[in-house]
């Protein structure tokens, strides 16, 4: 069974940093692209970033470019999202997903990030 378990969320002040992690199991992590998708409270879904299966390619939405970094450790089957210079508009539930570069096959349970002073 595919499992994606996010961690690392919480309350953070504007301008500070936070790092999210996603532990994967139940599939061959190193064969799959991965992504982060977020959902602001009572809002829709928004793609944030994607990383290729081997980490050689990364893609970001414009609003997080230069602030967020997606990375992975295939030996640990873990995905990361380093978020710097956080803004109030980054407040959302962040989901880890498997991503072939097309649709999002499997989703974690999500982790809440609240940016507020």
Query: In the complex, which residues of this chain contact another protein (CB under 8 A)?
Result: 37, 44-47, 59, 61, 95, 101-110
- The minimum distance between CB 88 and another protein, in angstroms, equals 21
Euclidean distance between CA atoms 61 and 4, whole angstroms: 22
State which residue, 75 or 103, has the beta carbon closest to another protein.
103
State which residue, 56 or 103, has the beta carbon closest to another protein.
103
Euclidean distance between CA atoms 117 and 107, whole angstroms: 30
58: closest CA among 92, 93, 99?
Answer: 99
In this structure, are residues 75 and 21 in contact, taking their beta carbons and an 8 Å threshold?
no
State which residue, 37 or 83, has the beta carbon closest to another protein.
37
- The minimum distance between CB 105 and another protein, in angstroms, equals 6
């Amino acid at each position: 069974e595919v499992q994606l378990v996010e961690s690392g969320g919480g309350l953070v002040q504007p301008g500070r940093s936070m790092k999210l992690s996603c532990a994967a199991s139940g599939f061959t992590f190193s064969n799959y692209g991965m992504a982060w998708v977020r959902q602001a409270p009572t809002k829709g879904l928004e793609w944030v970033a994607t990383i290729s299966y081997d980490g050689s390619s990364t893609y970001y939405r414009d609003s997080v470019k230069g602030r967020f970094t997606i990375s992975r450790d295939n030996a640990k089957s873990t995905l990361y999202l380093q978020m710097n210079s956080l803004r109030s508009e980054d407040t959302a539930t962040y989901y880890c997903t498997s991503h072939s570069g097309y649709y999002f096959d499997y989703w974690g349970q999500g982790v809440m990030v609240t940016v507020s002073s």
